[in-house]
Homo-oligomer: A and B are copies of this chain.
Amino acid sequence: MITIKEIAERASVSRTTVSRVLNNNGYVSEDVKKRVLKVIKETGYIPSENAKSLRTKKTKVIGVILPKISTETSSRLVKGLDEVFAKEGYQILLTNTNLVPEKEIEYLRLLKSRHVDGIILSTTIINQPLVEEISQLKIPFVTVGQQISKISNVLFDDYQASKDLVNLMIKKGYKHIAFIGVHEEDRSVGYLRKAGYLDAMKEINLPIEDCWVQQGIFDVDSGYHSMREIVKNSKQKPDAVLAVTDRLAIGAMQYIKEAGLSIPDDIAVAGMGASELSRFVSPSLTTIDFSMEEVGLEAADLLLDQINGRNTHEKIRKVEYRLIERSSI
């Protein structure tokens, strides 16, 4: 591989001078500059970022830790991140925990060993060891989607979003509203969205049958099975159901249709997430658009602020959501 040393020799200057024209700083006469540039061009020399990083302590890479790599949520998030980072000359180093909690700590260390300039963490479950690892990391850091105190977060108001959906149903005249959630360990999607549902119902004294409240996992089948439980076991059949993700909602829709019931006449359905599916499924699904892409934008912004040492007091940034009303209600 061709190095700065060889360029220096060919152009009959010192490595210092070559470095100066490379980085366009320090004085260097037009003459010499031209000579060096010519040699660089001829040789196709590309400086080693690695060597550079070792000296400058900047790598221009951002580590991103994802819970799942191939979901709409993740890919939209990464799109948002990439949009601002690419513009600033940063690349993204991707790691994927596949929902294995220990991997988060492993990757945190790995990213540290690679001297990334900053880290974005998207996670579903916060645990103590993770929080401790983060706090002693000393690298610019932003979490996304889940709140960790004392650390910069980009969040949605999951509680209110869920409440909004229930209130919409209530306004439309639905009274027997069932709920398909996920494990409450996931504070944002599991706990807060459920709390929003529960509170909205409580506020106007709508009763809830036990079996109306189901807990699934993040896939379509799970929505299907949860809906079956609800329909089979309830005394008072619900006339509406809120699912905390679109895929759960779509699974629920499948069951409802299979059971010979109509949406929304017999049972109205709402999901959350504004997945592409929600638009094209039939009937089209009422949902909440959380705009993960914007979360990516904001998170990148916050991280850049930290990296550049400005505005480091800001800890929480909330991203607006949008209720999309479609034919399933």
Contacts and interface: CB of A to CB of B under 8 A. Distances in A.
Given A69-B82, A280-B277, A50 B46 contact: no
Interface in A109-160: 109-110, 112-115, 136
A276 to B, nearest CB: 6
B82 A76 contact: no
A82 B98 CA distance: 10
A207 to B, nearest CB: 33
A94 interface: yes
A47 B112 CA distance: 9
Interface string A283-315: 000000000010000000000000000000000
A70 B59 contact: no
A48 interface: yes
A109 B46 contact: yes
A215 interface: no
A228 B274 CA distance: 27
A110 B93 contact: no
A19 interface: no
Contacts of A86: 95-96
A93 B92 contact: yes
A59 B50 contact: yes
A96 B84 CA distance: 12
A295 to B, nearest CB: 13
Interface residues of A, number: 41
A115 B46 CA distance: 10
Contacts of A48: 54, 113, 115
B75 A69 contact: yes
Contacts of A112: 46
A115 B49 contact: yes
Contacts of A51: 54
Nearest to A89: B110
B50 A54 contact: yes
Given A277-B277, A282-B282, A113 B69 contact: no
A54 B47 CA distance: 13
Contacts of A70: 75-76, 78-79, 293
Interface of A: 44, 46-51, 53-54, 59, 61, 69-71, 74-76, 78-79, 82, 86, 91-96, 109-110, 112-115, 136, 250, 276-277, 280-282, 293
